[in-house]
Amino acid sequence: MVKKIAAVSCGVLLGIVIAFARAGAFPFWSSSAQQEQSKPRPVPPERTAQAAPNHQPAPANQPEPNEISIPIHSFAPLVKRVMPSVVNVSVVQEVKSGMPFGGSGDQGGPGDSPEGPEGPGGPGDQGPNGPFGQQQNPFDQFRRFFGQIPHQYKQHGLGSGVIVSPDGYILTNYHVVGHADEIHVRLLDKREFTAKVVGKDAKTDLALIKIKIDTKQPLPVATLGDSNAAEVGDWVVAIGSPFGFNSTVTAGIISAKGRALGGNYDDFIQTDASINPGNSGGPLFNTKGQVIGINTAIYSSTGSNAGIGFAIPIDIAKQVMEQLKEHGKVVRGWLGVEIQEVTPDLAQSFNLPKPEGALVANVEKDGPALKAGILRGDIVMKFNGTPVQDEHQLPELVAQTPIGQTVPIEVIRNGKRLTLQAKVGELKDEQLASAKGEAPGSNWGLQVQSITPEIANQLNLNSTKGVVVRGVQPDSAAADAGIQQGDVVLEVNHAKVNTVGDFLSAAKQAKKDKKSALLLVQRGNATMYTVIKPQG
């Protein structure tokens, strides 16, 4: 009997032990096998492809199911491959006494202390046609690294460039070679050449130069990529000659795209890759070794890298380069309008559901827009079938349109959509494709007076209609609206203002209604819209 009880007890105990082992409680002989079974099995490619169309998007801030993350251990192989296509560009300019050296290369030596736009002849001081071209521009801290020359002598400058064709064409910046008397190019293999300017374009800050090559020694040519396909967060590599240190490599990411810095054709790539004096004109590469930008400027209060650099997208550079090669200049379309941003306040004043389009602040005489029937106050929503998201986009669309082509332009006028036909003209150097208005403000507080013939003569006005602003109170209504002394108010809420009485009547009504007032203001030869909000 005792033997039977002992046998049964042993059997029960053995069963319990086996059960625990199978459950994974103890690491017996089968645990390794179970671990192997628990490992995720790779999904065959064909099954992944079949499942991909039906997979649900990943939750916010989580990677997509099939997203691939490839760490970059070194840029060395890429740099070794593309480095030979980057060149050093040195320039010489004959400078007269007191003349600002405003456009022949970045200053070179390691000991240089570049002056900024605050001083005469600063890096952006290239007149109204410079890449940052406006006086008193809020981006006055953009540097192009030049200084004031005390007397007449030969000034040397330094920049970079990239070889874009085997027959010796090199792409660089306008501000590097635009005013140079001599241009010298040095390759990585120490070959040196004298270059000539094929064409230059100050509006995009691009220039195309050419060297005469020895056919027995072909040139290393860079591959031009697709800047439109580049995304914020992508790794990029900049190569150039900062402070005279040839073939310097820096890396970073694309910080932003579509940056506008004050010019009509700005569409910069922003990067935190270190860019300094001497980098100008050098290439910005992606991780495939393709050029996606031409380094051109930095934002800095010291003249050295502050982590905010800008490159001209290669898609724009390619278009400009082809025209420079063919014509020696860029031929751009011209519409003949001054435009400004549609701000939320302006959108509300024009009864738009959201801020979009480009507001026509003025229409030039005998221009294509006037002949097409475009009026001041129209809001351009589409140009040749392309939606106009903002005022920065319209000049680019117009500039890229072939001269003489008739295109449909969709505008909003008094709440109604109209489609007009405009024949695009050619932009001359003295013409402007757009003129951006000042930022609108939020309060009342200005003094006005009638325009007498004396005042009209003093302000170079062609008419005595409207009222002139005598003064603006600080921190008041008009001050925040951007209105300045000497401005002429032409309209209030679309009603023409011919006298002080007209203005006061319209202003009184706006205050009574406690609504924002839309003012059309003339400043010099330009007109703009601005909004004054009711006081708190």
SS3 breakdown of the chain: % helix, strand, coil, rounded to 5? 20, 30, 45
Which of the 8 DSSP states describes residue 317?
H
Q: Which of 160, 241, 255, 280 is catalytic?
A: 280
- Cα–Cα separations (whole angstroms), residue 123 to 20, 89, 127, 158: 79, 17, 11, 13
Q: CA nearest 286: which of 204, 245, 231, 241?
A: 231
8 Å CB contact between 381 and 417: yes
307 contact partners, CB below 8 Å, separation of at least 6: 272, 274
Residue 86 to residue 161: CA distance in whole angstroms:
6
Residue 468 to residue 455: CA distance in whole angstroms:
9
Residue 499 to residue 304: CA distance in whole angstroms:
53
Q: Which of 106, 201, 205, 378 is catalytic?
A: 205
Q: Token digits for 256?
A: 């932003």
Q: Token digits for 12?
A: 């029960």
316 contact partners, CB below 8 Å, separation of at least 6: 204, 227, 265, 267
Three-state secondary structure string covering 114-152: CECCCCCCCCCCCHHHCCCCCCCCCCCCEECCECECCCC
Per the document, the length of the chain is 536
Q: Is 274 a catalytic residue?
A: no
Q: Is 55 a catalytic residue?
A: no
357 torsion bin: left (phi>0), alpha (psi -120 to 50), beta (else): left
Q: Is 181 a catalytic residue?
A: no
**First-to-final CA distance of the chain:** 102
Residue 434 to residue 336: CA distance in whole angstroms:
8
Please state, as a whole number, how many other Cβ atoms lie within 10 Å of the Cβ of residue 243.
20
- 310 forms beta bridges with 270, 297
Q: Which of 90, 106, 156, 175 is catalytic?
A: 175
8 Å CB contact between 174 and 202: yes
Phi and psi, residue 535, nearest 5°? -70, 145
Residue 295 to residue 291: CA distance in whole angstroms:
10
Which of the 8 DSSP states describes residue 100?
B
Q: Token digits for 286?
A: 């992606």
Please state, as a whole number, how many other Cβ atoms lie within 10 Å of the Cβ of residue 293.
29
Q: CA nearest 315: which of 284, 280, 278?
A: 284
Residues annotated as catalytic (active site), given as ranges: 175, 205, 280
